[in-house]
Amino acid sequence: MIPAAPSFLITGGRLVDPSQNLDRVARLLVIDGQVEAIDPADGEIPSNIEHIDASGKIVAPGLVDLGVELREPGFEEDETIASGSDAALAGGFTSILACSSTSPCIDSHGAVEFVRQKAVQADGVRVHVIGCLSKNRDAQQMAELGLLHEAGAVAYSDSPRPMPNDALLKRALEYAQMFDLPIINRPNVMTLSEGGIMHDGQVALVLGLKGLPTEAEDLAVARDVRIAEATNGRLHIGPVSTMGAVDLISRVKERGINITASVCPHNLCLDDTHLRSFDARFKVHPPLRSPRHIETLRNAVADGTIDAIQSGHMPRAREKKMDDLFESPFGLASLETTLSTVATFMLGINGFDWLAIIDRLSTAPARIAGIAGGTLAVGSPADITIIDPDDKWTVDGHQFKSHCISTPLDNIELTSRVTHTFVGGRLRFSLRPELSHLA
Q: What is the mean pLDDT of the chain?
A: 95
Instruction: Look at the alpha carbons of 70, 90, 373, 427 in this order and tell me if their dihedral is positive or negative.
Output: positive
* 424 pLDDT more than 90: yes
Residue 176's Cβ-count burial label (10 Å; 0-12, 13-18, 19+) is buried
Q: What is the per-residue pLDDT for 3?
A: 56
Residues 181, 155 contacting (CB under 8 angstroms): yes
**Structure confidence at residue 438 (pLDDT):** 40
Of 424 and 258, the one with more pLDDT: 424
Residue 415 has pLDDT above 50, yes or no: yes
Q: What is the pLDDT of residues 375-410, one digit of tens each?
A: 999 999 999 999 999 999 999 999 999 999 999 999
Average confidence (pLDDT) over 129-156 = 97
The pLDDT > 90 percentage for the chain reads 95
Residue 167 near residue 227 (C-beta atoms within 8 A)? no
Q: Which domains does the chain have, with CATH numbers?
A: 60-369 (3.20.20.140)
pLDDT for residue 258: 87
The pairing of beta strand 14-17 with beta strand 58-61: parallel
Residue range 252-273: mean pLDDT, rounded: 96
Mean predicted confidence (pLDDT) in 41-51: 91
Q: Residue 436 above 80 pLDDT? A: no
pTM score, whole prediction: 0.96
Residue 434: pLDDT band with limits 50, 70, 90: low
Over residues 226-244, mean pLDDT? 96
Give mean pLDDT, residues 172-193: 97
- Is 90 exceeded by the pLDDT of residue 5? no
3-state secondary structure the chain: CCCCCCCEEEECCEEEEHHHCEEEECCEEEECCEEEEECCCHHHCCCCCEEEECCCCEEEECEEEEEECCCCCCCCCCCCHHHHHHHHHHCCEEEEEECCCCCCCCCCHHHHHHHHHHHHHHCCCEEEEEECCEHHHCCCCECCHHHHHHHCCCEECCCCCCCCCHHHHHHHHHHHHHCCCCEEECCCCHHHHCCCCEECCHHHHHHCCCEECHHHHHHHHHHHHHHHHHHCCCEEECCCCCHHHHHHHHHHHHCCCCEEEEECHHHHCCCHHHHHHCCHHHCCCCCCCCHHHHHHHHHHHHHCCCCEECCCCECCCHHHHCCCCCCCCCCECCCCCHHHHHHHHHCCHHHCCHHHHHHHHHHHHHHHHCCCCCCCCCCCECCEEEEEEEEEEECCHHHCCCCCCCCCCCCCEEEEEEEEEEECCEEEEECCHHHCCCC
Q: Does the pLDDT at position 1 exceed 60?
A: no
Assign 432 a pLDDT band (cuts: 50, 70, 90): confident
Residue 437 has pLDDT above 60, yes or no: no
pLDDT by residue (tens digit) across 330-352? 999 999 999 999 999 999 999 99
Q: Could you give the CA distance from residue 336 to residue 319 in angstroms, rounded to a whole number?
A: 21
Give the model's confidence band at 435: pLDDT under 50 very low, under 70 low, under 90 confident, else very high.
Answer: very low
The verdict on whether omega for the bond into residue 160 sits within 30 degrees of 0, i.e. cis, is: yes
Contact in structure between 369 and 182 (CB atoms under 8 Å): yes
Residue 439 pLDDT exceeds 60: no
Q: How far apart are CA 228 and CA 280, in angstroms?
A: 36
CA–CA gap between residue 132 and residue 124 (Å, rounded)? 24
Rounded to whole angstroms, how far apart are CA atoms 111 and 177? Answer: 22
Confidence at residue 73, expressed as pLDDT on a 0 to 100 scale: 96
Predicted local distance difference test score (pLDDT) of residue 89: 98
Query: In this predicted structure, what is the pLDDT of residue 163?
Result: 97
